[in-house]
Amino acid sequence: MSANGYEGRRKHPQASEDVLLRLSPVIRKASERYAVDDDHADDLVHDCLVHIAVKLRRCRAEDIESIEAWAWKVTHNLCESIRRAAPAIHGAWDDRCEIPDSGPLPDQLLERKLRRAAVRAAVRKLPRSQRDAIELVYLQGLSHKTAASRLGVGVNALRASVYRAIHSLRGMRDLAVWRESFHKNAMCGIRNLDDGQHPVLALESETWARDRIRAGICYGEIDRLLDGVYFATGWDDLYEMARRAPGCPVVVDPCFPTTRRSGIEELRVLRARLPTCPIIGHGHARGAWCRASVRHEIGFVAILRKGLDDDREAVRLAALRATDCDETERLLDRIRKCVPRSMHHLLDATLHESLTRSSVARLAEKLGLTPRTLARNCRTHRLPTPKRLLSLAVIFHVERLARWSGHKRGPTALALGFSDAANYAHLVKRTLGATPTEIARRGGPDFVAMMMLRELRCGGADAANRRSKNSAA
């Protein structure tokens, strides 16, 4: 039997079955991009195997140089033909579409999606040699010999790379806690809320809206800061949960069904009973709760419109903005007293945009300015540079959230978008001339707020001169 492994199939009937078994991982990898779900993927693999088996009986061994490449091309062509014959199937699956009753439940779909995303994220963190080995052997289904020849290494070296990659994946936090994090976020009711926890509290009437909130909180680095999502069973349950977890973000659907009064009235009662509760509105865009008067009366920290701007990143940003927002509001009140009124909007945007590790260009775009105009406005009003303002705001947020949650500054910095805790330490050292530990000893967020106010009062140039003199001394 040749290297292709099938030219003697007429003499040995079992050979064709062996070839099909060897090609199954390649066919599945080639067809999964056309699949709607797992069941559809299995159907495509079966159809492709039958089609390839028929073609194998009709062609000669010398006509095919590489059976894997040939099977990949045949699978691609067949899947394209199936897709064109049934266009309604291709691309029909969408997170926003209505889930059929016979299909998997929303929680199962989200769990599957998070599991795949966690695996992809973990594989991307591996060194290049290990990542290539894992992709060829496990994702493309190639043999060790074929994968080694493609990478230009020996089989033993490839096996060692695969072993090290598996060992690294087993120790990665992304794969170790994703399931625990997902199921932790399915908690409902105050009976599941323990004292000392810092979760996101939510009151939602629609299942798909719950899934959006859960996806924004339970997947990503923000779960290092917040202890999942807890869904209330009603307005009274939400009030008790918010009372036991002060400062935690509260996501509310203003249209949550109630027999006593309207959702807006329930929001007014909640605001009256808990004046400092950070409320995030999450409802349909055409509801009465979107009126400016209602927004001002309730005092929403953020607004999320269902199906429009409630994606995972928007939910994460709203939760970070609402967490312990009283500390941020106190700093803004003090800032407004020492800067011109025309600069209030700039400083408000700086504190809010810094939660996303924003750049000066993005801050300027948010304000409707160019970066050069923004820098010129800061110089005109004797303010620090936009880059320094953003750096101070980021440090302030990390310090205040670390103190509020009781977590270390490293995980808190990761929750705010830092790729590594060391990057936050470098930022603090470069901006304030001290380490994060020294900043914490001096008061943490209070010290950072004092430095920010001092620079705003004294002017950016004077503060820069003073810092250079201190560093020289």
Percent with pLDDT over 70 in the chain: 74
The whole-number pLDDT of residue 235 equals 83
Q: What is the mean pLDDT of the chain?
A: 76
The residue with greater pLDDT, 427 or 124, is: 427
Could you tell me the pTM of the whole model? 0.56
Has residue 54 been placed in a domain? yes
258 and 312 share a domain? yes
Least confident of 35-39, 104-108, 273-277: 104-108
* Residues shown for the chain: 473
**pLDDT, tens digit, for every residue of 297-335?**
778 888 888 877 778 788 888 888 888 888 888 888 888
Q: Which whole number is the average pLDDT over 83-91?
A: 56
Helix, coil or strand: residue 17: helix
Domain count, the chain: 4
CA-nearest of 107, 103, 220 to 173 is 220
Question: Among 176, 204, 220, where does a domain finish?
Answer: 176
Amino acid at 149: S
How far is the C-alpha of 464 from the C-alpha of 378, rounded, in Å? 14
Question: Is it the case that residue 464 has pLDDT exceeding 60?
Answer: no
| Phi and psi angles of residue 361, each rounded to the nearest 5 degrees, phi first | -65, -40
Question: Among 322, 345, 369, where does a domain finish?
Answer: 322
CA-nearest of 122, 121, 116, 117 to 170 is 122
How far is the C-alpha of 348 from the C-alpha of 346, rounded, in Å? 6
**pLDDT, tens digit, for every residue of 198-245?**
788 888 877 778 877 877 776 666 766 777 788 888 888 888 888 888
Residue 381: which residues within 8 A CB-CB, separation 6 or more? Answer: 339, 340, 342, 343
Question: Is it the case that residue 467 has pLDDT exceeding 70?
Answer: no
Residue 145 CA: distances (Å) to CA of 67, 71, 127, 136, 265: 15, 18, 21, 11, 69
29: enclosing H helix or E strand: helix 14-31
Least confident of 57-66, 86-95, 134-143, 160-169: 86-95
Give the CATH number of the domain where residue 125 resides: 1.10.10.10
How far is the C-alpha of 442 from the C-alpha of 313, rounded, in Å? 33
Question: Is it the case that residue 187 has pLDDT exceeding 70?
Answer: no
Give the CATH number of the domain where residue 213 resides: 3.40.50.2300
Q: Where residue 396 falls among pLDDT bands split at 50, 70, 90?
A: very high
Q: Which whole number is the average pLDDT over 148-173?
A: 80
| Phi and psi angles of residue 253, each rounded to the nearest 5 degrees, phi first | -90, 110
Q: Which whole number is the average pLDDT over 163-185?
A: 60
Amino acid at 294: V
Count Cβ neighbours within 10 Å for each residue of 390-401 and write b for 16 or more, e otherwise. Answer: bbbbbbbbbbbb
The residue segments making up the domain with residue 330 are: 325-472
CA-nearest of 165, 155, 163, 160 to 128 is 165
Question: Among 151, 176, 201, where does a domain finish?
Answer: 176
Has residue 212 been placed in a domain? yes
